[in-house]
Every structure is written in C-alpha cells, then in structure tokens.
Amino acid sequence: MALDVTPVYRNLRTRVTFFGLEAEDLFAILALAVVVNVLGRFLNREIFGIPMNMMLQYVVPILTVPALMLFKYGKQRGYLLDWLMFHTKPHVYSALERDRELVAEYIKD
C-alpha cells in the first residue's frame, strides 16, 4: 500500500494582505471610520441629504484605502506602524547637546 504524500508549503515570510494592505493597516482604517463617525454625529449635519456621520463613515475609509496603498507602495512590512511610532516619540538629534532635564552632575568626584 503506497503512502500518499501532499506537499505543504510553509513560508514564514509570506505577508497576509487584503487589497495590498496588512492587517494593521485595515485596523487603522476601521479606527479612522469610527473617529469620523463620532465626529459626524457631533457635528449633526447633512451632506447632499445624507447624514454626515454615515457619509463620513463610508466615504473616508473608501478614499483611505487607495491613499494607503499609494503611501505604502514599495515599503517594507510594518511601515505604517513604524512611521507612526517615529512621529509620536521624541527625537534625539545629537549626543553632544546639553540635557535639559538633567541639571545636576551625574557623576560626582
């Protein structure tokens, strides 16, 4: 009796994408939809007879998907998260600058 063998492809470098976007990007789009929905409810207006919260909730994410696809074209995996972390954390530009927080000497003779 012959043993049936089926190939199993296990490539850990494979990126799981949907419309060229990673899962983190899709979570960012969903969070943006929630924020603009709340903003639209707060403003309580209408656009072309449609409530602003519904219009913003669907139109902004639909326009954000192609914008993110263009923004991330040719970038490495996790680029959006790295970009956000870079812009939210303080930067150290020079190791020779005087420290504004440390006013007393660190090493005493």
Q: What is the mean pLDDT of each run of 10 residues along the chain (109 residues)?
A: 77 74 85 85 80 81 87 83 86 73 74
> Alpha-carbon distance 58 to 37, whole Å?
9
What was the pLDDT predicted at 12? Answer: 67
Q: What is the DSSP letter of 44?
A: T
Residue indicated by tokens 């998260």? 81
The pLDDT of residue 54 is 80
What's the rounded Cα separation, in Å, for the pair 49 and 80?
Answer: 35
Task: Judge if pTM exceeds 0.75.
Answer: no
